[in-house]
Amino acid sequence: MQTAIRGVEASEYRVGEDEYDIRVRLRPESRVSIDELSELTVPDEDGVPIPIRSVARIETGVGPAAIRRVDLRRVVAIEGDVLRAPGRTDDTVRAEVAAILDRDVEWPAGYRWEYAGSNQEEDESQSFLQRAFVIAVLLISLVLVTQFNSLILPATVMLSVVLSLIGVFWGLILTGTPFGIVMTGIGVISLAGVVVNNAIVLCDFVVRLRREGVEKTRAVVDAGAIRLRPVLLTAVTTILGLIPLTLGINIGFFEGTLELGAESSQWWGPMGVAVIAGLTVATVLTLVIVPVTYHALDELPDVVRRLPEMARARRLEPAARA
């Protein structure tokens, strides 16, 4: 029936650079009447052509133009756009639609609904970025353990990554920037590399001073004072470099133009806010928390080695009193 009415593409006709499809179907007078269509034949089990009216009932009606299936199940796709407004994101719209569908719509037996499209893509992106962040942290930790031949220093350095997340969340809250799965996630992953670099600069100098015989507390204080400039320069240069991208500042050097609020800021803005805010807070906390953590955890191996002796002394103490 589809071949008879809509036709089938048999070949192409070329005129110069233009191509035209050659479609074969019934003549117009043979496909306007139901009686004419009912005379079309189909082969039976033995290959004998029989009229369609012998095996089917033909009547006018309304049906779907196409049947769409996902995982062998029939689906109907409904698309919609989101009205952009302050504080209105795709997640809030999806939550509102889900509440209406669950509360006001009575679904027949066997019917259900689910989100697809951008929501499905965001879930896949979120899963990928989570794996990427875990792999990045593990690789950084592996390099640190190999470099310092210790577990205390890598734990101290990786603490700065956790501290950077504080700045990321506060930066998004203060600027009113929604947490975008893709760009904010990329910003957090890239932020981990910059923050870890600052912590390595600080901790490596502490280890170097300790090897020269400097007392631990003095080494921590001197490292913070001497390495203050490199840490601040790394943070400041990164922040200044991301400000034009975050604010959408477009400078035309050849035209001598300055454009504010470029469209690219809508895409790159969340990443810039995450890196700038996270690096600002992490730099301050790295100069304070990381040295203090190193000073506290440096004695942990000695404490662990003394635990058997301390336990043995506690067992002998009652016997000595008796």
* Residue ranges covered by each domain of the chain: 1-56, 126-308
CB neighbour list of residue 27: distance below 8 Å, 6 or more residues apart: none
Q: What pLDDT does residue 302 have?
A: 62
Q: What pLDDT does residue 305 have?
A: 66
| The residue count for the chain | 322
Evaluate whether 251 touches 265 at the Cβ level (below 8 Å): no
In the 8-state DSSP scheme, what is residue 82?
P
- Strand runs labelled E in 1-108: 8-15, 18-24, 41-43, 49-51, 68-70, 73-75
One-letter amino acid at 78 equals I
Pairing relationship of beta strands 68-70 and 49-51 according to DSSP bridges = unpaired
Residue with tokens 């951008």: 118
Q: What pLDDT does residue 119 have?
A: 66
CB neighbour list of residue 199: distance below 8 Å, 6 or more residues apart: 156, 157, 159, 160, 286, 290
Q: What pLDDT does residue 84 have?
A: 65
Nearest C-alpha neighbor of 133 from the set 166, 169, 158: 158
The fold adopted by the segment(s) 1-56 is: 3.30.2090
Evaluate whether 307 touches 273 at the Cβ level (below 8 Å): no
Q: What's the Cα-to-Cα distance from 57 to each of 7, 46, 65, 168, rounded to whole Å?
A: 22, 22, 19, 66
Helix 118-148 vs helix 90-104: crossing angle, to nearest 10:
130
What does the angle CA 90 – CA 92 – CA 97 come to, to the nearest 5 degrees? Answer: 95
In the 8-state DSSP scheme, what is residue 45?
T
Q: What pLDDT does residue 263 have?
A: 64
Q: What pLDDT does residue 215 have?
A: 84
Pairing relationship of beta strands 73-75 and 68-70 according to DSSP bridges = antiparallel
The fold adopted by the segment(s) 126-308 is: Multidrug efflux transporter AcrB transmembrane fold (1.20.1640)
pTM of the model: 0.56
Number of other residues whose CB lies within 10 A of the CB of residue 70: 10
One fold for both 1-56 and 126-308? Answer: no
Evaluate whether 297 touches 156 at the Cβ level (below 8 Å): yes
Q: What pLDDT does residue 87 have?
A: 62
Q: Which parts of the chain sit beneath pLDDT 70?
A: 84-89, 118-119, 252-253, 256, 258, 261-266, 299-322
Structure tokens at 121: 């893509």
Q: What pLDDT does residue 252 have?
A: 67
Share of the chain above pLDDT 70, in %: 85
Q: What pLDDT does residue 320 have?
A: 52
Give a three-class secondary structure readout of 76-91: CCCCCCCCCECCECHH
Number of other residues whose CB lies within 10 A of the CB of residue 26: 15
